[in-house]
Structure 1
Amino acid sequence: MVLLYVLQRFKVEDWGRNKDFLPVQVGKKRRHKINIQDEELGEVELLHTNHDESVTHYGLQGRATNVVPVTSDALAKKCENILDGMVAKEFLGEANRTGEPDILKRVEIAEVRDTVKYYMPELLWHHRLMNPTSAIREALGVPELTTGSRVLYILVSPKFQPIAKLYNKELFDVWRQCILCHLTLWKEGVYHRNISPGNLMWYRKNGKLIGVLNDYDLSSLADDLGPLGEERTGTVPFMALDLLSAKAQRGEVKHLYRHDLESFICVFIWIC
């Protein structure tokens, strides 16, 4: 009973619910929007437009990536060449590690390479909401309250198509393009570490299919510490067997290039 009284003292935002997302009525459907003040663009309003096309993951931890179609007048003016619409990627990233926007900036260095230039997601806009999940631990006086603390990231990019929609030669070509992009990035010190069907995308450019190696929220750089949490890095069904061993769970197995390559093979087999 005492525990129940303690829990009732916290608001929903103390548990990670962000109150900046406001419900709005669009026709007969309920949507959500968020208004953020941007130093360069002024007020940026993001409106979730279609829940049917949203990619949402539910779980007890609530840390998985969610991707929703969005519209924004401010971003539409900035990015007039976006033909297939925009999506917002929302996820709780670790506060004390290199964020995905910073990793994508590092990737820009490698964009002079032909295997990377057109095969990376274009980051149209991003924002980091400064309300860490450690707030409730701070209120409770928990030691090491910032360890593993997470903050909400919003990343807006053009809309891509999943590789699972492709067949035959088109599937192989896009899959191969993603591997070549991944290899170049690895050599440049950008380690993706989360190869899965949802992270291999594509779009059309001048009638040609272009593969996109997407989703860098679990990636790391050669010169940083990488994820600081105690959880395995990757999508479990497609992870290399070495990374699922007991030694790996204790942090005794280094994530190598061949582990990601094994994940690429698992993805290809799963799609076929």
Structure 2
Amino acid sequence: MFSVPLLRSHATVGLVDRDRLQLYHANRSVILVSSAINFSGGDGLDKFIAIIIAFRHLSFKQNGILDTLAKTNAELVKKSEIPRDNKVVQEGSELQLPGNEPEETFTVTLGDVISRDPAAIGRSTVVLKATSDRWPKAKLVIKISWPGSGRVPETDFLKKAYAEAEKTDGQWATKHLPRVFYAKDVVFEKDSTLESVASLFTDAKFAKGGYVYERRTLRIIIQEQLVPIKSLSNARDICQVFADIACTHRWLHDCPGILHRDLSKNNIMCRCIEEVNALGEREQQVYGVLTDYDLSSWTKDLKTDYTRTSEQRTGTPPYMAQELLKGTSTTHLYRHDVESLFYIMLLMCGRHTFGYVKEGTREETKRQVVMRKGDLPYEDWFEAPSYATLGSLKGSFFPDTQDIHLSPPFEGLRAWLQSLQFNFSEGFTLKSSSAGEAIPFDDETLGGYIHYSSLIEPLHQLTGELKGVIIRYDPVQVSLLTSTSAGHPDA
């Protein structure tokens, strides 16, 4: 119901079991379940008929179909068939979005789905290819999500990041940030169904403790289309992208004061730029780009008492830090993101190889990252039945110093991954042994084992085709530049 059409605020469905009907009303925050109506006796049949008549008279808006934004939304509702691959449901549909001036609108035509999170409860993020006459020469993607209304908008983080990036040497950091063309939050009026449902939770009594209803915002962002990391054709470029993400992530932490908090494979993209090398030849350079700042936080806010940023647990479980999965950490720390980056590298390099894939309808094939055949390592991380179970599986990975399984093309990254594994193992062991001691444990760096230097230094030891991977960010140089400018009369 939330897939067709795309822009739907809520849906109501009925479950019929023999002679009973039970209604389910779902939005992006909650699912409400009615008591059952027996329509085989008493006044149950009259209620059933009344419900059918009432639903027949609901408008598209009352049914949760936002047809004022999507021109073809109403037509999508009438379609009875959904393509089997569930990827082209929205292809060719048009969104009509408000411009900067009153009464100004423009149209975006949706393409194929790039990624989607179909969960009913939560952000339910979907990213699609798109085109628009407003930016005729740009390759676009449109991101549509339902983040919590209390969260800082993603564009606020990016505005601050770009302002700081333009101050970097050669503006290097701008190459590692996504470029946003348009952003819009859709506000729902007080008489909307979403607000009516929210009002039910005001001063409500609950059978088992309290519950906080989380309002959500429909957020639409149009940005440039980047290249997924899986489209790269060699281990050198992939290693460079991972190094870029490590550098950019720490730079965001130190300069604009942003902690990403949601590192996953889908949030690591690439920008390919044709540049002139030292020999005067033009060649394509690959830059890692960190995307999706929906769950980010200002670092200054994380230094105070921790508060949950959402009533729903968010993140991609196989890439989440073990303490966050088990719920044993009170604060999301920089090292938790480093742990996520470790898992991303481990799972990509262990479960994938390179192969040739046909591009679209063309007969040509392109070398890129593909899944390995046969039994895949770390499969139990994807099949774990709960967050706690997955957290325990990961918890045993470090102290036991389990073998790192890598695909042959990615053997060159073994030294980097083993170094990180060792540091996490030593840090977690020290934390466990320090429990109850009078000297406070440095949880921020896991006892001094996990910090930016421990993440970056192993790159200097890489050999073969990975030798000479570029390290973009040096906090020491930034600190020196800052202290120098502070003493300048024009500072």
Give yes or no for TM over 0.5.
Answer: yes
Distance 2:125 2:266 in 1: 11
SS at match of 1:185: helix
CA contact (8 A) 2:175 2:271 kept: no
SS at match of 1:244: helix
Pick from 193, 197, 200: which aligns with 1:141?
200
**1:174-233, CA deviations, whole angstroms, 9 ceiling, x for partnerless residues?**
111011000000113111100001000002111111110011111112345886322334
CA contact (8 A) 2:260 2:296 kept: yes
Name the counterpart of 2:344: 267
Name the counterpart of 2:435: none
Distance 2:213 2:266 in 1: 28
Name the counterpart of 2:173: 116
Name the counterpart of 1:254: 331
Unaligned runs of 5+ in 2: 1-20, 23-33, 38-46, 76-89, 205-211, 275-283, 350-491
Distance 2:123 2:105 in 1: 27
Name the counterpart of 1:107: 161
**1:152-184, CA deviations, whole angstroms, 9 ceiling, x for partnerless residues?**
111111111111233311100011101100000
Pick from 240, 246, 258: which aligns with 1:190?
258
Pick from 240, 259, 270: which aligns with 1:173?
240
Q: CA offset at residue 246 of structure 1?
A: 3.4
CA contact (8 A) 1:191 1:221 kept: yes
Distance 2:62 2:153 in 1: 22
Name the counterpart of 2:475: none
SS at match of 1:117: helix
Pick from 41, 66, 80: which aligns with 1:18?
66
Is 1:216 matched with 2:304? Answer: no
CA contact (8 A) 1:47 1:72 kept: yes
Distance 1:176 1:11 in 2: 52
Q: CA offset at residue 261 of structure 1?
A: 0.6
Change (3 A) 1:11 1:240: farther
Percentage identity across paired residues of the two chains = 25
CA contact (8 A) 2:122 2:314 kept: no
Q: CA offset at residue 38 of structure 1?
A: 1.2
Change (3 A) 1:227 1:17: farther
Normalised by the length of structure 2, the TM-score is: 0.47
CA contact (8 A) 1:98 1:224 kept: no
One-letter amino acid matched to 1:265? F
- What is the 5 A alignment of 1:37-186? 37-40=98-101, 42-48=104-110, 50-51=111-112, 53-61=113-121, 63-76=123-136, 80=137, 82=138, 85-111=139-165, 112-113=167-168, 114=171, 116-131=173-188, 134-138=194-198, 141-143=200-202, 147-166=213-232, 167-186=234-253
Q: CA offset at residue 141 of structure 1?
A: 3.0
Distance 1:57 1:131 in 2: 23
Normalised by the length of structure 1, the TM-score is: 0.82
Change (3 A) 1:148 1:228: farther
Distance 1:94 1:12 in 2: 24
CA contact (8 A) 1:134 1:150 kept: no
Q: CA offset at residue 58 of structure 1?
A: 1.7
Distance 1:187 1:162 in 2: 26
Q: CA offset at residue 62 of structure 1?
A: 5.9
SS at match of 2:135: helix
**1:24-59, CA deviations, whole angstroms, 9 ceiling, x for partnerless residues?**
89xxx96321112212593221111x32x4322222
Change (3 A) 1:109 1:15: farther
SS at match of 2:341: helix
Q: Which moved more, 1:185-194 or 1:9-18?
A: 9-18
Pick from 253, 270, 281: which aligns with 1:202?
270
Q: CA offset at residue 148 of structure 1?
A: 1.7
Change (3 A) 1:95 1:108: same
CA contact (8 A) 2:265 2:344 kept: yes
Q: Which moved more, 1:39-48 or 1:9-18?
A: 9-18
CA-atom RMSD, angstroms?
3.0
One-letter amino acid matched to 1:45? T
Is 1:230 matched with 2:311? Answer: yes
Change (3 A) 1:73 1:170: same
Change (3 A) 1:144 1:54: farther
Name the counterpart of 2:97: 36
One-letter amino acid matched to 2:92? R
**Residue-pair matches, total:** 256
Change (3 A) 1:126 1:168: same
One-letter amino acid matched to 2:116? T
Change (3 A) 1:91 1:196: same
Distance 1:59 1:14 in 2: 22
Q: CA offset at residue 14 of structure 1?
A: 5.5
Change (3 A) 1:229 1:175: same
One-letter amino acid matched to 2:327? A
